[in-house]
Amino acid sequence: MISTVTKFVTNIGYNIIADLSTKLSNSLVILLLSYYLGVADMGSYSLAHTFFTFGLLFSYWGFGNLLTREIARDRNSYSKYLSNFSILRLIFAVIILAIINSIVPYLGYVEQTQQAIRIISIGIIANTIINLIYALFIAFEELKYLSMISITVGVLRVIGCFVILHLGGSVVKVVVFSTLMEFVSLAVSLLFVSRIIKSFYINFDIKFSFQQIIKAFPFFWIAVLVILDSQVEILVISIILNESFVGFYTAMNTIMGGLALFSEGVRNAVFPIFARYQINSPEKLKKMILILVKYISLITFPIAISVFFLAEEIILLLFGSGYEISGTLLKIIVWSFIGHTLKVVYIRLLMVHDKEKLLALSLLVSAMLTLVFNILLVPILGLVGVAIIRLVTTYILLFLCMYFVSRQRYRIIEPFDLFRISVASIILFLSVFLLHSLLPYFGILIGLILYVCAVWFSRVIDRSDIKLWNDVFHGLIHRSAID
């Protein structure tokens, strides 16, 4: 158990580094576009990336999660899965590339946005294979390679975009360079993956491939619903409002993307562990869920409260004046950070129990509510309506996932722990509320100190936790020495 937790914590660290470098590079590109070209061009870039994301969704076809789950169970099967899935993904990528280029002229976007969408869609061919390689790293629990690749490519992407914009380049030139970097990233990924697979061979099997297309369909459907649930508002904003409003929403999303580093670190680290424990040690998995939920709550509650009080300052610092609406959006959506991180655990748990249909049902309800309420409320409430809907549907999805997980005979949460963490969080909120108008940063500091004291004295963390983390700390030192 200690070695598993140690590896879990290590992989969360590597995943956070990988996601941080990726999101930081993307955020810096967004900031550079905002500084050099303005909010409208930033909106065009963001809209092009939304089409890129939807295109990747089709080409991925759920093969990444399926590959991770199956190879985590049997690591000797990587050649069979990787070779078949790579060929299938390339075929799907070419198809979706043709579809995107066919429909873009009829969507009413300005010519610059259309060009950006067409160019960035070419990167789907490279990214779809990169994602499979990443899934293989996750299956082998070698997430350190993700961080190496992300840092390397991220630094090159930021430097290149800065040079282009500083020399007077347009958003289209930035998109061209970003697309080229997808192929650079593929080359670097292939270099690193060769270090963990020594005897890879092409093993294409048409019958097996068709079986896997069917088997992966629930994962694909889940991915469709996840993207629809999380990205549909960008399309709704672009259609009902315009690219400038997309830019304001993107500014807020940039901050939320930074917070999501923790959520995504948990997501990638738990999947292979859950897949193994569900077969080999189901009772340990049940205990692990309660531990995860407790520590996720301990971490996410104070972060959400702190960002809520500092939202306007954060937006002003990163984007300057004129983005006041982005600060308002952040104050609303930051509360979804808690629910989003918790639902990651329950979603992965449903996946390892082969309950993709229940997960798809939950996502369908959330996605449809998101779409319908956005269409109804955005013309009335504008961007604030989008933020409120996002917050509400996040918790609807969380509660649905919790319900379905509970039907698998799991204790989904320890009520007394949640109560004590909630009390500590209320103390934090009230102390910051009272001091924020006078000394905002000092108020946050005092509030966090009171939060830690409340957690300690209410015994949310007991002697068993201290022993666990002491053992994990020594394990991390030992593992770092080996690496």
Residue 464: its pLDDT value, please? 62
Rounded to whole angstroms, how far apart are CA atoms 181 and 183?
A: 5
Going by pLDDT thresholds of 50, 70 and 90, the confidence category of residue 326 is confident
pLDDT recorded at residue 395 = 93
Phi, psi torsion values for 76, nearest 5 degrees: -80, -5
Average pLDDT over residues 155-181: 89
**336 sits in which H/E element:** helix 336-352
Exposed/middle/buried for 415, CB within 10 Å: 0-12, 13-18, 19+? Answer: exposed
Q: At 229, is the pLDDT very low, low, confident or very high (cuts 50, 70, 90)?
A: low
Rounded CA-CA distance 141/12 in Å is 10
Lowest model confidence (mean pLDDT) among 15-24, 169-178, 370-379: 15-24
What mean pLDDT do residues 322-344 have?
89
Residue 442 has pLDDT above 60, yes or no: yes
Q: What is the pTM of this model?
A: 0.66
Tokens 């690496």 label which residue? Answer: 483
Place of tokens 């309950």: 355
Per the CB < 8 A criterion, the answer to whether 165 and 33 are in contact is yes
**What share of the chain has pLDDT > 70, as a percent?**
87
Of 1-10, 370-379, 397-406, where does mean pLDDT reach its minimum? 1-10
pLDDT value, residue 414: 81
**pLDDT above 70: residue 478:** no
By the 10 Å C-beta count (0-12 exposed, 13-18 middle, 19+ buried), 268 is classed as buried
Contact partners, residue 205, CB within 8 Å, separation at least 6: 80, 84
What is the rounded distance in angstroms from the CA atom of residue 384 to the CA atom of residue 374? Answer: 10
**pLDDT (average), residues 48-68:** 83
Confidence of residue 338 (pLDDT cuts 50, 70, 90): very high
Ramachandran assignment for 169, one of left (phi > 0), alpha (psi -120 to 50 degrees), beta (any other): beta
User: What 8-state DSSP symbol labels residue 104?
Assistant: G
Any idea which of 11-15, 256-260, 335-339, 353-357 has the lowest mean pLDDT?
11-15
Residue 7 has pLDDT above 70, yes or no: no
User: Which pLDDT band holds residue 463 (cuts at 50, 70, 90)?
Assistant: low
First-last CA distance in the chain: 20
The chain-wide mean pLDDT, for the chain, equals 81
| pLDDT at residue 480, rounded to an integer | 42
Q: Please give the pLDDT value at position 13.
A: 66
Per-residue pLDDT averaged across 386-406, rounded? Answer: 90
For the segment 268-280, what is each residue's pLDDT rounded down to a tens digit?
666 667 766 677 7
Instruction: Dihedral sign for Cα 279, 281, 286, 291, please.
Output: negative
CA atoms 113, 119, 122, 128: torsion sign: negative
